[in-house]
Amino acid sequence: MEHLALDFKPHNYQKYAIDKVIDNEKYGLFLDMGLGKTVSTLTAFSELQLLDTKKMLVIAPKQVAKDTWVDEVDKWNHLNHLKVSLVLGTAKERNAALNTEADIYVTNKENTKWLCDQYKKEWPFDMVVIDELSTFKSPKSQRFKSIKKKLPLINRFIGLTGT
């Protein structure tokens, strides 16, 4: 069954969120579940692509990584041009996904250290989004330490949480 993509008519708070993500290289977007953090972030990224931001990495809980980001790109007309590569599965599958040409690369939080280890010196992602930022709260965790080392190489860093 074919589904029709929708036109996005953002609420005022979503317009505000989109503008903040565009205007701030580091930003935390804290909205309750269901209020459009994902579509707002994707919309901002799509606009930033016209400027200097070409590739985005999303780190999310596994189920969110598998479904939510791809579903949101498919759901909205203004995002249909974005290509998403899911960096999930075995190491071989993840490497193949990283070597696929895409705008957005989505992985689960458990793969953060592995992914960071793939890029010793260079970092191909202009923008990093951590969906459910609260899962990175422990400075002792491997995922926190891994992404922290990459911060100097990350132009745009967005944290999302539904708290």
Domain residue spans in the chain?
33-161
**Identity at 84, one-letter amino acid code:** V
Give yes or no for a contact between 102 and 56, defined as CB atoms under 8 angstroms apart.
Answer: no
Residue-averaged pLDDT of the chain: 93
Q: Which CATH code of 3.30.70.3460, 2.60.200.30, 2.130.10.30, 3.40.50.10810 fits the domain covering 33-161?
A: 3.40.50.10810
Q: What is the DSSP letter of 92?
A: H
Cα gap 107→64, rounded to integer Å? 9
**Coil vs helix vs strand at 57:** strand
Cα gap 20→31, rounded to integer Å? 13
Write out pLDDT tens, residues 86-135.
Answer: 999 999 999 999 999 999 999 999 999 999 999 988 899 999 999 999 88
Cα gap 47→91, rounded to integer Å? 32
